[in-house]
Structure 1
Amino acid sequence: MPTVQITHALPNPDGRPSVAYDGSFKELPPGVTERRTGRSAPVDIELRDGRHLETPLSLTRNGVCLARGFEPAVDLQSEGLDSDAIVERYYPQVAGLVRRALEPAGIERAVVFDHTIRSRARRERGEKESNGENVGGYANGAHNDNSSASARTRVRLLSRPKALGGSVTRPEPLLSREDAERIAAGHFGIFNVWRHFRSDYPVRDYPLAVLDAASASEKDFQIAKYVYPDRVGEVMNALHRPEHRWIYFSEMRHDEALIFKVFDNAAELGLASPTECPP
């Protein structure tokens, strides 16, 4: 198994969440002396190749699965900076992929509200999407994008237009206020879809590693607050545990898509449903 370094959070001595201020703050607010609090350290991690596991992965049990046979409606290699093409043609396709993956769980609807194009070379050249968003780099810290509170906030924000904190990439509200409240009060989840967009070669560096949910528990994470000028978000930073099992898929191709769970309130509602991945 390959060994890599993944940065993990260190426990906060006072038990309080760490705080980071967004780069849009040119000056820190009065009384704030550090842009980022909290400590972290790199940890040597053995990665298991998801292609060679004895037991197939499922979204419910492990929080991750690999979908094959994906034929992208947008060639992100040539059209990857065309935000309109991504939203109009690629978003519906990704929503369909997630619906198929969650069909055994009785999914009602899937709403795509954001995306990031990641490319080290494009980022170094300072390239931007047509909507002005920067091309992203690669995250090397072990984290989860949402806490229980921020997941519900994210759903409610989708009833607002982009200018008021709604979808990052679509100007109009994606949900009515009534729908957002109904979803936040019921069973819902947030999932990410990650894929390689080049057809001329597979992923050879910076593959995405995902923590097997079956090897982790809620106590293995601590809340980190991210402060924007108009709101405060929350993510969950992972603490290192020897029993954690990290998974990646070797040499992912452009016709494959990694689906992984960010948040699911099924446990909070006392629900359970078997979910596999689409063929």
Structure 2
Amino acid sequence: MGTSTATVTTAVTTKIGDDQAASISRTMTMKARMAFLARDELWNHVKPYKLGYEPVGIDLPRTNHKLEVHEVDIHDMRGISDRVSLDRNGFEVHQLHSKLPYEDFFDSAKVAAVYLKEIQGLVKSVCGAKQALPLDAELRCRHASFPTSTGEHYQFAQPSLLTHIDVTVDGAKEIIKKLYPTAADEILKSRIQMVTVWKPLKGPVEDWPLAVCDATSLDPSDAVSADVVYQKVVTENYLVHYSDKQKWFYLDRQEPHEVLVFKAADSEPGQTARCAHGSFDIGARAHRGSNLRSVRESIDARVLVMHAEIDYPQAGEWAF
């Protein structure tokens, strides 16, 4: 997918959810291009998949994804972030002043010892959960050539171009069974969730920010379950078809202490809020007469959330 530059409009009025009275006036809106799963009859017979490794000895494509790019209106959520909720809209904004300095985010041991402990506490509080278990932390530092592929191996993960939802409820249940083989039955009798915490390492973010979709505007039929296959484990997520009914938001000039918490899966009956997301190009912000300070650097962590009132055993190994 080639590079795209967003355009900006103002004086937009929209709503968070079709039946919610709160509206956003004079919200800055980006027009940007985002990638979606193409609508194709193939998905009526074949499940989308992606391999997280290079297959050896078999003639198998790394993925069967068919994509299409659409121009999307993406609204700034500043000023209305106190009116959205994890359970209704699928995302929230929280403040987290990490004790981990910038340079230590490149040390995985320090991230695990400090930052993941911090977000564990944050997520337990936000979700009112008995247990929160961070599964992984992905450091993303945009390469100068991104999104153009040069064929070289990048040292860090890149911003995610394809709109998706991190995991399905069934996928989250399988993770619990793997991590808690002796306690899974008891854990799964109660509510489970999977959330992601997204934090920029530098701010303000002026390069490839993250966009999130209001869950009330996402038609369930536009979320297509897909396999993500690693050498040691298979997980399941959702890829997303585009619809002009979807409402997309981003946090303009997001700072490192501002974290996006968004939900992928929730087993609670009747609780369907799940947050599609993906990155988009805002160019060099020429519309503000400013130069790009730095390329996007961020960390996102997936957190397994459990509500069962039990004594949780030590979790098993989770590795790809």
Partner of residue 173 from structure 2, selected from 146, 152, 159: 152
Q: Secondary structure, in 3 states, of the residue corresponding to 2:174?
A: helix
Q: Which runs of 5+ in 1 are unaligned?
A: 128-133, 160-176, 274-279
Specify the alignment match of 1:110 in structure 2.
132
Letter in 1 for 2:71: D
* Residue type at the aligned position of 2:165: N
Give the aligned partner of residue 142 of structure 2. Answer: 120
Pair 80,63 (structure 1): closer, same or farther in 2 beyond 3 Å: same
Give the corresponding residue for 1:207.
Answer: 209
Choose between structure 1 and 2: higher helix proportion.
Answer: 1
Q: Deviations over 1:141-192 (max 9, x none)?
A: 1101112221111222223xxxxxxxxxxxxxxxxx2333322342110000
Structure with more of its chain in strand, by fraction: 2
Once the two structures are superposed, the pairs formed by residues 189-228 of structure 1 within 5 Å of their partners are: 189-198=193-202, 201-228=203-230
1:72 corresponds to: 98
- Cα distance, 1:194–1:57 mapped onto 2, change above 3 Å: same
Deviations 1:30-62 (A, max 9, x none): xx4433213111110100111133971110110
CA contact (8 A) 1:123 1:136 kept: no
Q: What is the one-letter code of the residue matched to 1:226?
A: V
CA distance in 2, matches of 1:33, 1:25: 7
Distance 2:232 2:193 in 1: 25
Determine whether 1:13 maps to 2:35: no
CA 126–222 in structure 1, closer or farther in 2 if over 3 Å, else same: closer
Equivalent residue, structure 1, for 2:257? 255
Structure 2: distance between partners of 1:34 and 1:178: 37
- Measure the CA separation in 2 of the matches of 1:92 and 1:54: 25
Which residue type is aligned with residue 246 of structure 2? H
Q: Does 1:98 align with 2:126?
A: no
In the alignment, the residues of structure 2 paired with residue 122 and residue 80 of structure 1 have an alpha-carbon distance, to the nearest angstrom, of: 20
* Equivalent pair of 1:145/1:235 in contact (CA under 8 Å): yes
- Cα RMSD (Å): 2.5
Relative to structure 1, is the Cα distance of residues 99 and 55 closer, same or farther in structure 2, using a 3 angstrom cutoff? closer
Runs of 5+ in structure 2 lacking a partner? 1-28, 147-151, 274-320
Q: Which residue is 1:170 aligned to? A: none
Does structure 2 retain, via aligned residues, the 8 Å contact 1:12–1:18?
no
134, 149, 162: which one aligns with 1:141: 162
Runs of 4+ in 1 over 6 A off after TM superposition: 122-127
Alpha-carbon distance in 1 for matches of 2:270, 2:50: 33
CA distance in 2, matches of 1:102, 1:91: 16
Shift of 1:244: 0.4
Which residue number corresponds to residue 317 of structure 2? none
TM-score (norm. length: structure 1): 0.78
CA deviation after TM superposition for structure 1 residue 252, in Å: 0.5
Aligned mates of 1:63, 1:54 — CA distance in 2: 12
8 A contact 2:81–2:93 mirrored in 1: no
Asked if the contact 1:12–1:38 (Cα under 8 Å) also holds between the matched residues in 2, the reply is: no
User: Is contact 1:8-1:239 (8 Å) kept?
Assistant: yes
The 1-side partners of 2:176 and 2:165 are apart by 16
Aligned-residue offset at 1:251: 0.5
Partner of 2:84: 57
TM-superposition CA deviations, 1:217-244 (whole Å, max 9, x none)? 3211112222223333221100111110
What percent identity do the matched residue pairs reach? 21
CA contact (8 A) 2:143 2:158 kept: no
Q: Secondary structure at the match of 1:58?
A: coil
Contact 1:123/1:137 (<8 A) preserved: no
Q: How many residues align?
A: 238
TM-score, structure 2 length as denominator?
0.68
Classify the secondary structure of the residue corresponding to 1:5: strand
The match for 1:88 is 113
**Which shifted more, 245-254 or 211-220?**
211-220
Cross-structure match for 1:163: none
